[in-house]
Amino acid sequence: MNVLTSIFVLGFLIFFHEAGHFAAATFQGIKVNGFSIGFGPALLKKEFRGVTYSLRALPLGGFVSFPDDESDIPLDDPDLMRNRSIPQRAIVISAGVLANLLLAWLVLIGQATFVGLPGHPDPGVLVVAVQPSESADLSGLTAGDKIIGINGNKLGSGAEAVKSLVTQIQASPKKTIEFERLRDNDLQIIKITPSENSGNGKIGAQLQQNVSTILRPANSPKEIIEQSGSQFIDILKRTIKGYKGLFTDFNSTAKQMSGPVRIIEIGAQLSEQGNQGLFLFAALVSVNLAVLNALPLPLLDGGQLSLLLLEGIRGKPVPEKFQLAFMQSGFLLLVGLSIVLIIRDTTQLAFFNK
């Protein structure tokens, strides 16, 4: 059930992204002829008011299509996407990213309103996820563990505890560290030797504040807005920092990238925590979809905006041959990367479930 729930949430987030493009186009009177979730062969297809809605075999995203090249429509039709001004087209292209950011914020608002706000942080640092075959994984550290102390010193609680732990790990490449691990009320001492990455130590674990699972109702609408806004900004900053690593430290960041299988697995794990985990999963993935699509890469919204920017600088459209080559390379890159991630994640999932 948790897996099905996470699949449904992921599909809804993709739908909302494409709905942003669709709404921005239709509100401006731009003709749209297709709305699809997924790529490849259509599993379900329905035409309504000149728009073909479809669900396709490869759940790697979606697209909204425009009838710019249909022979029965005059080339100078003002309602074609290509005949609209650059600002109007930019609104359509960027609407998907903005829709996902808006949705993530609304999800966090909904969580604070209907589920509640977390109480004060408990002592220690929570392990959210562990990368396979990294130092943390090899030592037996798993998601859900709490790190209470390091080298005989207590960590305290909150953001300062996370900062202190990360600082000590980074300062100890190839040096064995003693962790006080709390698992199911059982306190143990485990030893971890951080690997070296650009001169800093790393253990391959995602860490966050050990926030109490006991939620409390918000005191006022103002607190809901403030807490949700703060959480949204924090998620956005961490996501941007993560994608920035693709350009500044590709080898390390690439190892942490997750495909659809891993994303669904994480969603299933978070949904086991109840509504709180499900809301968090939806917000995290929605922000990730927004930041990913904003990258200036072929086939992504950021790539489309880059072509639009070039058109504005040149004063005329980019040659169609260049656009076609740009988009085809993007499709091959996206599909190829997705296949690699799916195979890797599926293999790891099968291995670690033995």
**Mind telling me the catalytic residues?**
18
Backbone angles phi, psi at 327, to 5 degrees: -70, -40
Q: What are 297's two structure tokens?
A: 């890469």
**What does the alpha-carbon distance between residue 178 and residue 191 come to, in Å, rounded to a whole number?**
5
CB count in 10 Å sphere of residue 204: 22
Q: What are 43's two structure tokens?
A: 């599993």
Task: State the DSSP H helix or E strand holding residue 99, giving kind and residue range, or none if neither.
Answer: helix 86-110
Instruction: List 62's β-bridge partners, or say none.
Output: 37
Burial, 218: exposed, middle or buried (Cβ in 10 Å; 0-12, 13-18, 19+)?
A: middle
Look up residue 42 and give its DSSP letter: E
**What does the alpha-carbon distance between residue 110 and residue 225 come to, in Å, rounded to a whole number?**
10
Contact 157, 122 (CB under 8 A): yes
Whole-number CA gyration radius for the chain: 23
Task: State the DSSP H helix or E strand holding residue 160, giving kind and residue range, or none if neither.
Answer: helix 158-170
One-letter amino acid of 282:
A
Closest CA to 248 of 198, 298, 193, 294: 198
Residue 162, CB-side half-sphere exposure with 13 Å CA sphere: 14
Closest CA to 316 of 82, 90, 4, 154: 82
Task: State the DSSP H helix or E strand holding residue 188, giving kind and residue range, or none if neither.
Answer: strand 186-192
**What does the alpha-carbon distance between residue 197 and residue 252 come to, in Å, rounded to a whole number?**
8
Alpha helices in 272-314 (DSSP H): 275-294, 301-314
